[in-house]
Structure formats: C-alpha cells, structure tokens
Amino acid sequence: MKLVNVDFASLIASMAIAVLASSVVGCGKDRSNIARVSGDVTIDGTPVPQGSIRFYPAQGRMAIGEIVDGKYTLRTYETDDGAILGKHNVTVKAVETKPKRMPKFNPPPDATPAQLKEFEVEMMEGMGAAYNWIVPESYSRLESSSLTAEVKSGENVINFTLESN
C-alpha cells in the first residue's frame, strides 16, 4: 500500500479557488435569455419625474427599473442587465408622498408643557400622509394595467406613453 503525501495548505487553496470560480460563473444561473431594456415613460406628454417600472414575464424572474426624469433601465439579476426574452405585462408606479397639512393648533391657555407635547403628538399621529398619483393608480397594479411589452434579443428601447384619463 502506497501512502500519498498531501500538502494540507495546497488542498485548502485548491478548494478556495474552486469555490471562487463557481461564484464567478453565477451559481449556475443561465442568463442567455436576458436582453437589455431601456426607454422613456411619459404621462400626458410629460416625462414621469420619478417612479418605478416592472416587467412580468409569463415564466421567470420579474425585471424592475427606477424611473428618473422619464427614463428607465431594467434589471433582473444585476444592474442594467435587462429582462427575460418574451412577452411581459408591465406596471408603472409613480407617487408623490407628502405629509398632510398641519391643522392650526390652538392649545388651551392654561396647558402645561407636558400637556402641550401630548396634544402635539396626538395631532401628528392622526395626520398620516397624502398621496398624489403622478401616473394613475391603475397602471401600478398588475390586474388593472393594460401595459405590455415584448423583449427581443439585443438592445431593446421600449417607450411608454401614458394618459391620465
């Protein structure tokens, strides 16, 4: 019987290289079915200032993009990698959130500082926030959005011209 002399440090180094190589490959995710997608989103002829856009394929992972000054680029796994090839249902969400206007505060003249603080806290808790839909809410829901797109191989420029009525 012949014994093999194994250098423990070399074995550990080889294992580390194998783990690193498998992570660079992407853990087996096939990304050959993804293509870059970018475009413009307008509402009533005006670029949507901020929001998000999502592409939902029939099968596979959804792609998402941030809308900034009417422009977007999609990502599925990594920044700007695009969306899965094929037909997609699309949603666009663009909302401004503003705190509701503070009502005029007229505390009783004999209120203590602790009572004033308590009144202020109660008022703030009841205020909530006001939402202003930049793009109609129906575009933001998968079940009510009529938006669709088809992603093909290569570069895709897909623009959405939305209307508020």
Could you tell me if 84 and 40 lie in one domain? yes
Which structural domain range is residue 88 located in? 31-94+135-162
Question: Per the domain annotation, does 6 fall within a domain?
Answer: no
Could you tell me if 70 and 149 lie in one domain? yes
Could you tell me if 57 and 81 lie in one domain? yes
| pLDDT in the model for residue 122 | 67
d(CA 136, CA 118): 38
Q: Give this prediction's pTM.
A: 0.66
**Higher-confidence position of 120 and 5:** 120
| pLDDT in the model for residue 125 | 59
Could you tell me if 127 and 69 lie in one domain? no
Question: Per the domain annotation, does 149 fall within a domain?
Answer: yes
Could you tell me if 39 and 111 lie in one domain? no
Cβ atoms within 10 A of the Cβ of 40, count? 16
User: pLDDT digits over 66-107, tens only?
Assistant: 999 999 999 999 999 999 999 999 999 999 877 666 566 677
Cβ pair 88, 56 in contact under 8 A: yes
Residues 133-154: what's their mean pLDDT?
A: 96
125-149 residues labelled b (16+ CB within 10 A) or e (exposed): eeeeeeeebbbbeebbeeeebebeb
Could you tell me if 57 and 127 lie in one domain? no
| pLDDT in the model for residue 18 | 53
Question: Per the domain annotation, does 5 fall within a domain?
Answer: no
Question: Per the domain annotation, does 150 fall within a domain?
Answer: yes
| Confidence class for position 32, pLDDT limits 50, 70, 90 | confident
| pLDDT in the model for residue 165 | 77
- Domain of residue 144, CATH code: 2.60.40.1120
| pLDDT in the model for residue 63 | 97
Residue 36 has pLDDT above 80, yes or no: yes
Considering its fold, how many domains does the chain have in total? 2
Helices (H), ranges, the chain = 8-25, 113-127
Could you tell me if 80 and 147 lie in one domain? yes
**Higher-confidence position of 27 and 38:** 38
| pLDDT in the model for residue 26 | 47
